[in-house]
Structure 1
């Protein structure tokens, strides 16, 4: 009787060994796979905190399972479809802190392996260092950051104060939010020089290297009119503007007729503004003898204009000539 029992136990043991051997031959191991880890804040906390992953967000995992499942797993890894998602909840004791650091531990239950595959997390290579910053919203005045040009007066910003959302540790000591470095807005070409220039400028999206957002994200910039000064330009020479094939020789009856005094207003500067006074003989029909044409003025600097629009008609004479004498200009300098 005892012999039969022993024989039965030996048979069962041998059967178990055969099953384990067959089972082991059907298993495969995939070692040291680096998986990306995506850490996010719990629902309801994302708008109150910002999360920063320090270093590489990765975990090293090995896998054991049937060959067909391991082949399926390899395909997911090659297609970058396998990653670990972790939701972090800010603990109650840290919720009022402006910043705190934490370490997220990845365990096997968080690895989305195919059915039948067992993930094995490498201890020491499953830790993700994160920094959590508390977000606050503060009203801040806007400061215009001029790129180059010096302003001739205070720049008006509308709105002058915006709501800025960002890390508390940054906004606690920031006194104003600047615009993006910008040129002052330009007046339209046909606008009076004394009019205000208006433009739109975006606010910065980072402060001290940390992202912030503003409401609104852009402000209206109003540049004041430039300070003006009157200039008297005596004895400005009058030139003749002629075509290259003009067959008549223009001359003034005397030296006094060939010069004009101009009264000009424009931006304040040390030097007198540069102008070009001329008579345009490129259009119309002209005959020898006495002629009359309106004086035209070209300013070689912007934002200058004549006072009281004092242009006048100039008298000159045209003599027959086979050539245009030297010194006559065909175009403004």
Structure 2
């Protein structure tokens, strides 16, 4: 591989073992590496994740080994699901969805099955992240993005003490969920409700949908913009949450439909948020079912299954019926 890429053996071994972080490579050399790997048959989707992987490395390193006076990277930009998936891969070994179906070729000698942090590093990461979240609160509005993203990642720590801390921290922000419509704290309230749902408390998310999204045009737009960015339909990196209020952003509706359809299958804890978002997307873009008939058939079958289930909220049932109608009327 070193010969094929055009680097010395020690450099290649350093990249593979992590002794030489890929993020430290010069921009031109990194671009050349990407192109060479692509020409050699590497999966384009896996190559695309290099950016998210380097972002995850930076977030983990800055949390475990913080530098004095250096801003935390979680305060610099709004991270995406790909970046969050990479971080979670290192924290609990859960393979990112985009890589879940990739076969791993056999390797000589002992090879880790995941880029999993050691138990001590995981404990340190979450302890430092909790401190970061608390200090961000004291920074006022200037710490909103850092607090929101740090607290969201804290909810992945499943130790009893951490669950207790995270639950308490989230509940102290519960008042944000009761505010109607759009506010500067809307994204924080949304992340809080989602994290509480992951911890087994679905009611705040149901309340948030009813009070802070439904029947408010600005909040409905913000919700779809958030999803579009999170799921990769908005490609441009965003420095803060302000993009959610920018009206109609140039994102790909079909790609967003695919992401929401996949999430409806894969994230049962958030089914009500996925259902409402699908309803809003298909209400706005009624032509979407015609763009991908196979996806439409898959979504149609899944909505039928959900409608036969008694575990969804009354709002979700009404919206699923509306989604079901749009799908049925616009199937190719």
* TM-score (norm. length: structure 2): 0.16
**Structure showing the higher helix proportion among its residues:** 2
Between the two structures, name the one with larger relative contact order (CA 8 Å, sep ≥ 6).
Answer: 1
Structure whose alpha-carbon radius of gyration is higher: 1
* TM-score (norm. length: structure 1): 0.16
